[in-house]
């Protein structure tokens, strides 16, 4: 009914209390440990909406998900964007590192909604 695609792409770091890095220049990408799939809403299923929500995600130094923002909306009317954000907040990662130490890293994640 749905599938999920993970893609990490560097984004500009957003200012926060802790420093947030972008991958590259000695900063490694986080690695997915637990991936939670978003759920289709009944309205989106009825309207047969398919596509991708692109999220800007801060993976914290402890591997949890911090800030999540919708960078590319699929559908904010029937709730698929919200479902993608809710699922993303449940993911866990092996954090990215800099100089061998875990750091917060900002990545893009694509969540693909596909009806079968």
* Domain of residue 45, CATH code: 3.30.2420.10
Residue 2 placed within a domain = no
In a domain, 9, yes or no: no
pLDDT (mean) for 25-49? 96
Going 20 to 23 to 30 to 72, the CA torsion angle's sign is positive
Predicted confidence (pLDDT) at residue 66 exceeds the cutoff of 50: yes
Q: What integer pLDDT is reported at residue 101 of this predicted model? A: 96
Residue 61 lies in a domain: yes
Asked whether residue 68 is domain-assigned, the answer is: yes
Whole-number pLDDT of residue 2: 38
Which structural domain, as residue segments, surrounds residue 27?
20-113
Give the pLDDT confidence score for residue 76 in this predicted structure: 85
- Does 83 map to a domain? yes
d(CA 116, CA 114): 6
Whether residue 96 lies inside any domain: the answer is yes
Q: Rounded to an integer, what is the distance from CA 66 to the centroid of its chain?
A: 10
Provide the number of structural domains found in the chain: 1
What's this model's pTM, rounded to 2 decimal places?
0.82
Query: CA 69 → CA 14, 17, 65, 85, distances in Å?
Result: 11, 17, 11, 8
């Amino acid at each position: 009914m749905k599938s999920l695609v993970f893609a990490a792409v560097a984004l500009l770091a957003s200012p926060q209390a802790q420093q947030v890095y972008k991958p590259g220049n000695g900063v490694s990408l986080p690695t997915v440990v637990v991936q939670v799939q978003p759920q289709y809403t009944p309205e989106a299923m009825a309207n047969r909406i398919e596509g991708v929500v692109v999220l800007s995600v801060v993976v914290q130094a402890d591997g949890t998900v911090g800030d999540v923002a919708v960078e590319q909306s699929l559908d904010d009317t029937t709730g698929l964007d919200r479902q993608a954000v809710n699922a993303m907040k449940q993911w866990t990662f092996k954090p990215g590192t800099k100089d061998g130490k875990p750091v917060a890293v900002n990545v893009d994640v694509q969540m693909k909604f596909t009806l079968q």
